[in-house]
Amino acid sequence: MDPNMAIVRAPDADLAAASAAFLPFDDTLYLDCAARAPRLRAVQAAGHAALDADAAPWRAADAPVEAQLESLRASVARLLGDGDGDGDGDGIAALPSAAQGIATAAHNLELAAGDAVLVLEGQFPSNLLPWQQRCVERGARLLGVRREEGRDWTTAILDAVEREPRLRIVALPRVRWDDGALLDLDRIAPRVHAAGAALVLDLSQSLGALPADIARWRPDFVVSVGYKWLLGPRGLAWLWAAPQRRERGVALAPHWSARDAGTGWRFPLDAAPPYRSGARRFDAGGLDDPVRLAMARAGLDQVHAWGVAHIAAALGKRLQAFDEALDAHGLSAWKTPEHAPHITALRPPAARLDAVFAAFRRERIVCTRRYGLLRIAPHLHVGADALQHVVGVAAHAG
């Protein structure tokens, strides 16, 4: 199959036909895109085609792989709202994981003894562990923001920014990974900048599902995995660096791919070749795998073909109907308030949690259970009727 033939290109108002773009699920209702996206037919076809082509390496050339990477940089940049047309790929680096992107940001931001780094309590470990390590190295403090009952995360963050005089770095997701709580970056970013702190964003749970605008938020670094809502393979992630950061930044592990060694490809002993332009200085090695690159290309092409705004609107309608069904079944207390359009979580009473999760498993409903929550994260393969079925199962469990 030609991968391009598997891409669904013409969104209707609700993207009702988009389920045809995904491989079949048999009798399973998969609601765990926040962990791993369901596989697109186009991504599967692209991976198979690239694997077949890679079986004859003597026919391959270096230029196509480099061209693939450059095209991917531009495609990711477009999703960030960075630049017009094909996007400013100059700001994008390719890495194997979001954690390495966060660690790269931590390594390149100024932090002194006694300074504070702000994160959320319960933040995903990829955006926590590097800051813990950096604070230990520099004698800095990690400031964890908690959300008190009756308050939203955005307000809690703004209050913490206001109270901390030595705030130097604010590292946040846009959407919480556990329950889909949505942060208002339009309010948070200006206050962070006014405090003189650097802003680092992990968009792994929103890029490809929610429109982004880094021109408005003005972060120092942005990271995202390449799977989940970007619909690509694992083992490939993206780092965006602000212009002032990409001019002087240093990669965690120096690799020849980040250097411009010229056509002679020489690396003299006395001095390394200059860095390649832009954020390419942060590129990690080992990412020139044609299979991963082809799959990432197909996933991003599908996201662009649907349009992120269309995706957000369609998923928002589905989860709105899901919340309304909870209300209709008398389960309003189980809802997550102010969640993103594409991720939410059921909050059953502790005494019913086991029964609800067991009922889901019997009905072949797949979701993540953690911290007393059942995370619901569908993509366009799931219709509103299926989500109403989920609510019915939950309501009658136990």
User: Tens digits of per-residue pLDDT, 317-345?
Assistant: 999 999 999 999 999 999 999 999 999 99
Largest CA distance in the chain: 72
The contacts of residue 250 (CB under 8 Å, 6+ apart) are 107, 108, 281
175-180: average pLDDT = 97
Q: Which of the four pLDDT bands, split at 50, 70 and 90, describes residue 6?
A: low
In the prediction, which pLDDT does 84 show? 46
In the prediction, which pLDDT does 59 show? 81
In the prediction, which pLDDT does 87 show? 63
Q: Which of 76-85, 121-130, 149-158 has the lowest mean pLDDT?
A: 76-85
Q: Which of the four pLDDT bands, split at 50, 70 and 90, describes residue 264?
A: confident
The number of angstroms, rounded, from the C-alpha of 395 to the middle of its chain's C-alpha atoms is: 31
C-alpha R_g of the chain: 22
3-class state of residue 162 by DSSP: helix
Q: How far apart are the first and last CA of the chain?
A: 46
Q: Which of 64-78, 93-107, 356-370 has the lowest mean pLDDT?
A: 64-78
The single-letter code of the amino acid at 14 is D
Burial state string for 47-86 with b = 16 or more CB within 10 A and e = fewer than 16: bebbeeeeeeeeeeeeeeeeebbebbbbbbbbbbbbbeee
What is the 8-class DSSP label of residue 336? P
How far apart are alpha carbons 181 and 371 in whole angstroms? 15
Is the pLDDT reported for residue 389 higher than 90?
yes
CA angle 13, 19, 24 (to 5 degrees): 175
In the prediction, which pLDDT does 83 show? 44
How far apart are alpha carbons 256 and 253 in whole angstroms? 10
Q: Which of the four pLDDT bands, split at 50, 70 and 90, describes residue 60?
A: confident
C-beta separation of 94 from 238 below 8 A: yes
How far apart are alpha carbons 228 and 18 in whole angstroms? 17
Q: How many CB atoms lie within 10 A of CB 225?
A: 28
Fold of the domain built from segment(s) 62-306: Aspartate Aminotransferase; domain 2 (3.40.640)
Q: Which two tokens stand for residue 42?
A: 């186009």
Is the pLDDT reported for residue 12 higher than 60?
no
C-beta separation of 96 from 238 below 8 A: no
Q: How far is CA 182 from CA 155, 186, 188, in A?
A: 12, 12, 12
**What percent of the chain lies above the pLDDT cut of 70?**
94
Q: Which of 64-68, 88-92, 165-169, 201-205 has the lowest mean pLDDT?
A: 64-68
For 370: left if phi > 0, alpha if psi spans -120 to 50, otherwise beta; the answer is beta
Q: Which of the four pLDDT bands, split at 50, 70 and 90, describes residue 398?
A: confident
Q: Which of the four pLDDT bands, split at 50, 70 and 90, describes residue 62?
A: low
How far apart are alpha carbons 398 and 393 in whole angstroms? 10
The single-letter code of the amino acid at 394 is A
Mean pLDDT of the chain: 93
Burial of 374 (0-12, 13-18, 19+ CB in 10 A): buried
Query: How many residues are given for the chain?
Result: 398
From the list 168, 220, 231, the residue with the least C-alpha distance to 380 is: 231
DSSP-assigned letters across all residues of 221-284? EEEEESSGGG---SS-EEEEE-HHHHTT---SS--GGGB--TTTT---SSSPPPBPSGGGGGPP
Consecutive H or E run containing 369: strand 368-370
Q: Which of the four pLDDT bands, split at 50, 70 and 90, describes residue 66?
A: confident
Q: Which of 134-143, 244-253, 302-311 has the lowest mean pLDDT?
A: 244-253
What is the 8-class DSSP label of residue 60? -
How far apart are alpha carbons 91 and 278 in whole angstroms? 6
How far apart are alpha carbons 84 and 313 in whole angstroms? 23
The domain ranges of the chain are: 16-39+307-396, 62-306
> Kind of pairing, strands 116-120 and 368-370?
unpaired
CATH class of 16-39+307-396: alpha beta
Burial of 332 (0-12, 13-18, 19+ CB in 10 A): exposed
Ranges of H-type helices in the chain: 41-54, 62-79, 98-108, 129-138, 153-163, 185-194, 214-217, 243-246, 290-306, 308-328, 350-362, 384-396
